[in-house]
Amino acid sequence: MKHKKLKKELGLWDVFSISTGAMFSSGFFLLPGIAAAETGPSVFLAYLFAGILVLPTMFSVSELATAMPKSGGTYYFIDRSLGPMMGTIGGIGSWFALVLKSAFALIGMGAYIGIFYDLPITFVAIVLTILFGIINVIGAKETTFLQKILVASLLVIMFFYILQGVFAIASLDFFEITKTQFQPFFIGGVNGMLATIGMVFVSYAGLTKVTSVAEEVKNPDRNIPLAMILSLIVAVFVYVVGVYIMVTLSDPVQFRSDLTPVATVGQIFMNWLPGSTGLVLIVIAAIAAFASTGNAGIMSASRYPMAMARDKLIDKNYSAVHARFGTPTVSIMVTVLMMIFILLVFDVESVAKLASAFQLLLFGLLNLAVIVMRESKIEGYDPGFKSPFYPWFHIAGMIISTLLILEMGLISILFTSLIAIFSIGWYFYYAYNKVEREGAIYHVHARLGERRYHGLEHEMRTILREKGLREEDPYEKVIGRAVVFDFSQRMRFEEVTDMVTQELSDRVNFSKEELSKRFLKNLEEGIITVSQTAALKHIRVDKDIETEIALVRCKEGFQIDKSYLEDNESVEGNKIYCLIYLISSTKNSGQHLRILAHLAEMIDNTNFTERFLNAQDISDIREILLRDEHFINITLKQDSESKRIIGKQIKELEDFLPGKSLITMVKRNDELIFPHGDTVLQENDILSIIGEKGDIEELKSFL
């Protein structure tokens, strides 16, 4: 079943807003005083240590999200690495934990609104849940627009709050403060600090939730890891400095029992503002924080049922994407209804705390997932960001999660176990007979080879197609210098391969016989058919060579024995009009797969066959596979701006060609010339130029 894709509408600021907004709520506006009761004035260090300890998980999630930017985030990563049973645990548990956290945030928002309006807190929380649910249905872009407003308001007020607090502390006697406010520094010793780190660690749990909308992120290789890193830096700064201000300026005894420490301390140093302006600003910040957590929570949580439905772990209706709004409407509505049910039936605060242990379990599994995916050696696993210090960082992440779970207490561990048991029961009751795939863990050891799920390798390739090329991939350059053959009569695959290898052998410094042998040998990777009209044959060599491509057109179709085709797929030869040969170095395996995937994406265009067959000449054949925004043809005329370069050598054109633009071919009187530095340009020459999008736009506007 082919599922409708979500729109890629989210940029860096959108991702940053979701990630940051998911972290600020109870962790800053409610928890500091409660945490101080465990460890004393050293509580601000607990936030710092927790921020450092979350680094392994943040880097692991960044790697997984850039390799597999799909809806479902945590669920999808765990499912594809550890298998569908563990994926079911991750999906149901992540959804339930996030629903609880979001409901808890809206309870907090209702409480702060109650400062000004005498309304039932639960009623306010339910109304807000419905409101945010409607916004989420309307569209991801609309949801993140609201999220950006909330996060911007929160951060502006918080930085103003911190700035005022730092000025207030600077006016005090440091040694006097140390004696009165920071003695004793550690109330509970090492155990008290560890328990506090475990308590505040979940304040950073929202950092990873943005990966559940990874499918909707533009340029995920850059935007997801960068946004998460920026979010963590901002969160650690606000948490550590903000809590330090609270510890320094508040009454130590009162602080440890204060449920609104930000407001209490803020009134001390913001009293210079007229009336109750200081309190109003703090309440606005608190409302923005709780609202951003609730809003981002609904958005992120709703992607878990959607992803699980795509994979047949729950009913397929949850994967439905609204035709107009482009959002998973059913999944959003079910998430909102569950939040309302929890708000009406349970003590949200108590249950939300229990769910924290499950978040830690997921963190441990995500670190394990990176190890499994890397050791599986699946070629299609091609992360745009690789987490550092492999595998020690990831092992440390698993150990940290385990230790912190043990600090959460027996009740939290039992709650986590119940969710896991329910999820396993659901998997065997509903999904076991519907799901054929296995996780990448079965690719790790040869002794488990009989349970390898080859469909996972195909799925990773599909993801490569969806992600597209990276900026450093020389796709245009490779196509621009590609060897092109054009035949009017029917040709055999062996004949064509013989001619192609004759041309490519000098370029890659291989003998023609060796190249022919490699292209014709029926390896694991046969000829890949695309759209039933084109075929790709690709090889990699253990030699440092530049990537090369040969494009072949045969208007009468190719005769290809089915034994050459991937998986012995039966395709009538006369339907294949285009053959593409790709050769590159094993040192650039990731780049090889991305170029191969992009070629398949270009060929899969509904107009490809018609355009390819109607191409007038070799130059036109190349153009069809070039991205329009990275390519331009220029005809040199005396009555145009291009007259400046007539009679010049190509090596003299630095001032004419912007950026790193490159002339790949010159068409002169129906003759194709592959240019070099000494090539002299003549009037009526047609130059084929490739370059970055901005450079090509500059050339177009100039000409």
Tell me if 552 sits within 8 A of 578, measured CB to CB: yes
**Residue range 325-354: mean pLDDT, rounded:** 81
446 in any annotated domain: no
Residue 176 has pLDDT above 70, yes or no: yes
Asked if 240 and 308 sit in the same domain, the reply is yes
Same domain for 569 and 689?
no
Please determine, for residue 523, whether its predicted confidence score (pLDDT) is greater than 50: no
pLDDT at 396: 93
Do 187 and 74 fall into the same domain?
A: yes
Give the CATH number of the domain where residue 645 resides: 3.30.70.1450
* Residue 655 within any structural domain of the chain: yes
Contact 196, 38 (CB under 8 A): yes
154-190 in b/e burial notation, b at 16+ Cβ within 10 A? Answer: bbebbeebbebbeebeeeeeeeeeeeebeeeeebbee
| pLDDT tens-place string over residues 1-50 | 444 556 677 788 888 887 887 777 777 877 788 888 888 888 899 999 98
Residue 352 counted as domain residue:
yes
**Looking at the structure, do residues 422 and 292 belong to the same domain, yes or no?**
yes
Domain shared by 496 and 575, yes or no: yes
User: Which of 21-25, 546-550, 661-665 ranks highest by mean pLDDT?
Assistant: 546-550
**Is residue 337 very low, low, confident or very high in pLDDT (cuts 50, 70, 90)?**
very high
351 burial level (CB within 10 Å; 0-12, 13-18, 19+):
middle
| 295 token code pair | 């809003």
549-553 average pLDDT score: 92
- Residues across the chain: 703
Query: Domain of 78?
Result: 12-431
Same domain, 479 and 577: yes
Domain end call among 605, 624, 643: 624
Q: Does residue 333 share a domain with residue 202?
A: yes
**Mind listing the pLDDT tens digit for each residue in 645-657?**
888 888 887 777 7
- Give the model confidence (pLDDT) of 108-124 as tens digits: 777 767 766 777 778 88
90 plus 160 within the same structural domain: yes
- Does the pLDDT value for residue 546 go beyond 60? yes
The CATH number that applies at residue 300 is: 1.20.1740.10
The total of other beta-carbon atoms located within 10 Å of residue 261's CB is 26
Position 694 pLDDT exceeds 60 = yes
**Higher per-residue pLDDT: 291 or 363:** 363
Q: Which of 58-62, 428-432, 519-523 bottoms out in mean pLDDT, i.e. has the lowest?
A: 519-523
Lowest mean pLDDT among 80-89, 122-131, 164-173, 617-626: 617-626
- For range 88-112, the mean pLDDT: 82
Q: Which range, of 121-130, 237-246, 502-511, 562-571, averages the lowest pLDDT?
A: 562-571
Q: Of 580, 596, 624, which residue constitutes the final position of a domain?
A: 624
- Same domain for 639 and 616, yes or no, is no
On whether residue 389 sits in a domain, the answer given is yes
Residue 442 belongs to some domain of the structure:
no
Percent above pLDDT 70 for the chain = 88
pLDDT value of position 452: 59
Clarify whether residues 518 and 389 are in a common domain.
Answer: no
Classified as helix, coil or strand, 680 is strand
Is the pLDDT at 152 greater than 50, yes or no? yes
For the full predicted model, state whether its pTM sits above 0.85. Answer: no
Does residue 440 fall inside a structural domain?
no
Highest mean predicted confidence (pLDDT) among 81-85, 107-111, 232-236, 301-305: 232-236
Q: Is the pLDDT of residue 524 over 50?
A: no
For residue 580, the cross-strand partners are: 536, 551
Same domain? For 267 and 404 the reply is: yes
Query: Regarding predicted confidence, which is higher, 626 or 515?
Result: 515
What's the CATH number where 549 sits?
3.40.930.10
Among 259, 279, 260, CA closest to 271: 279
| Total number of domains constituting the chain | 3
Q: What local confidence, expressed as pLDDT, does residue 413 receive?
A: 84
Return the number of other C-beta atoms located less than 10 Å from residue 347's C-beta: 9
How confident is the model over 314-338, as a mean pLDDT? 84
342 has a pLDDT exceeding 90: no
The residue among 624, 654, 688 that closes a domain is 624
Q: How confident is the model at residue 232 (pLDDT cuts 50, 70, 90)?
A: very high
b/e map 313-326, b = 16+ CB within 10 Å:
bbeeebbbbeeebb
pLDDT grade for 59, boundaries at 50, 70 and 90: very high
443: in domain: no
CB 73 within 8 A of CB 98: no
The whole-chain average pLDDT of the chain stands at: 81
Helix (H, G, I), strand (E, B) or coil at 137: helix
DSSP 657: S
pLDDT at residue 395 tops 80: yes
In a domain? residue 455 = no
Do residue 275 and residue 394 come from a single domain?
A: yes
pLDDT in tens, 428-485: 998 888 877 666 666 665 444 555 555 667 777 777 767 777 777 888 888 888 888 9
215-219, 227-231, 505-509, 591-595: which has the minimum mean pLDDT? 215-219
Mean pLDDT of 60-68: 90
pLDDT of residue 629: 62
pLDDT at position 525 is 55
pLDDT higher than 90, residue 561: no
Please give the share of the chain, as a percent, with pLDDT higher than 90. Answer: 11
More confident residue, 214 or 126: 126
Identify the weakest region by mean pLDDT among 73-77, 346-350, 683-687: 346-350
